Amino acid sequence: MIDDSLARKAQKQLYKAAREIKLDTNILKILENPMRTLKVSIPIKLDNGKIKVFTGFRCQYNNAKGPTKGGVRYHPDVSEDEVVALAAWMTWKCALLDLPYGGAKGGIICDPTKLSETELERLTRRYTTEIMPILGPHIDIPAPDVYTTSKTMAWIMDTFSMFKGYTEPSIVTGKPEILGGSKGRKEATGRGLAIITREFFKAQKKKLKGAKIAVQGFGNVGGHAALFLSQMGATVVAASDVSGCLVNPDGLDIPELMECVEKHACVIKHPGKQIDKEELLFQDVDILIPAALEDQIH
């Protein structure tokens, strides 16, 4: 691995933690390597009739505590290195909370904003078919991540079920409620982030009301975190996504901004002052929420 790769960074974190807890070196040798990484070619027919071949990955890092669990992301920057690192971090997260799961991650190298819904469906179904040999409710369970949704999970579930010959809702999490999905699942990560922020302010004996917030990545997680924190009295003064960044020292109208993003898939369609999205990280705020891609703070 190259030294600045994400997987190498995850490995260095593991070594540091291992030293702190005096981890058995034999266990460390197992944990420093992913259990299994699958790379697949995904040929699909585009709406114009042409065939395009995409590349996808699924990494199952460790299943010592149970079936592996982790999201699937669609993004131009997806790489094998990235999914290995994210699967490792997912492994540590599940273990730290003593959940009966191992860690996994998957992704497809693509720009989903340039694909139609029918193309995304074909892409998802073919990807599911290609990774099916290592999928299963007792083997590996995908979930939504960057640019994938409950609809994506429904396509995965349906494809898996068609091949098996019976309906298998437990093959994915984050699916629509009508297909057995959990109520509140969509808001859960953002709600948890808001609650942790509130409790951190309590521990610091600071007031959350009036605290200024900047949110990098106004998607499902960032958007809901902003919504719940604003309902708790905080003021979201900046929000960004891939399209750009909106700022308002008096506070953005978060419900309106969420409606705008739901309709147009970008924050800059909402009226307001715009700045370069990179500038969001340097705003004078009390709380910075990095809810975009990993490795933003270094």
Question: What DSSP assignment string belongs to 262-285?
Answer: HHHSSGGGSSSEEE-GGGGGGS--
Adjacent-strand bridge partners of 134: none
10 Å CB burial of residue 190 (0-12, 13-18, 19+) is buried
Scored b (16 or more CB within 10 A) or e, 14-42 reads beeebeeeeeeeeeeeebeebbebbebeb
The Cβ of residue 268 has, within 10 Å, a number of other Cβ atoms equal to: 18
Query: Tokens representing 81?
Result: 């290195």
Token pair 């083997």 is found at 139
Adjacent-strand bridge partners of 105: 59
Query: Tokens representing 78?
Result: 């997806």
Which is catalytic among the residues 9, 69, 105, 277? 105
Cβ neighbours of residue 254 closer than 8 Å, sequence gap 6 or more: 223, 226, 227, 230, 236
Say whether 65 is catalytic: no
Pairing of strands 51-62, 102-109: antiparallel
Adjacent-strand bridge partners of 73: 107
The answer to whether 2 and 85 are in contact (CB under 8 A) is: no
**What is the rounded distance in angstroms from the CA atom of residue 182 to the CA atom of residue 146?**
19
CA distances from 150 to 113, 172, 185 (A): 17, 10, 10
What is the set of active-site residues? 105
